[in-house]
Structure 1
């Protein structure tokens, strides 16, 4: 990947396309966890790729390409959400029974995550679904590790209020969520 970054910085369009192909699934998952609709997700990803292409020369450390483009994507998602003012506030969350079938639990988890504020939804997604460490998340969102830890903690508590109590959020990764 590093060699392709260097080539892309020198104007090699094919190298940039290879880079995007490598990070595309991760970018899509990230955008879809933040955005409310498929169209907004695609718009954010497209804008992030365009901005990355136009500013790849400003990337100082090629080994951080994925972190760099993820940061661009998160900023773009946040911009679109603010612009379109489509943040949905839920006044009431319906109670769920403790015996949801396994095939419905994934949908329920996604619904619960979508109810979180943007800051909490982003750290939960990066930590559980992208398997990033607290340190890596701190670099991406340009916050301290302590801030990331507190956002994760608050997000877990909020999720526990709306989710089935039998799912122990604190000690699992995405395989179980």
Structure 2
């Protein structure tokens, strides 16, 4: 329970449900900075955090009537902010992945083979024999020079999985090329 001006969150929620528009203004005044800070903690961008908090308020105001126990307003509302922040990071990650998949295809497969040395042609052919997952890791790591941590984030896998895929891809390339 959060009390400011001796009015609990639950009381303000109940008053808002009863039609008192000033009650929601007090809740916004009380929690907006907290919501912005929580969103910032996840997205690491102040402007985006403010946008997420604003979008969250729209949803909170629309759905506050579904809140069964008004005393849990703060935790309920913070979950909404948290989910919206996570959704934003997933969206950005997905966009990065789509962009890098586009770059991956453009970077290697669109190079005319006559522009490559025989060894590079053999390597390109060997890379194309790898699984899609291994190709992604190889291309992101070697062609685009992302760190393993960045590769993991782009593909949305753990860093250990990225490391494992890279290792197995290298081993398979060794057997294909027979170095």
Provide the TM-score with structure 2 as the length reference: 0.47
The higher radius of gyration belongs to 2
Name the structure with the higher helix share.
2
The structure with higher relative contact order (CA 8 Å, sep 6+) is 1
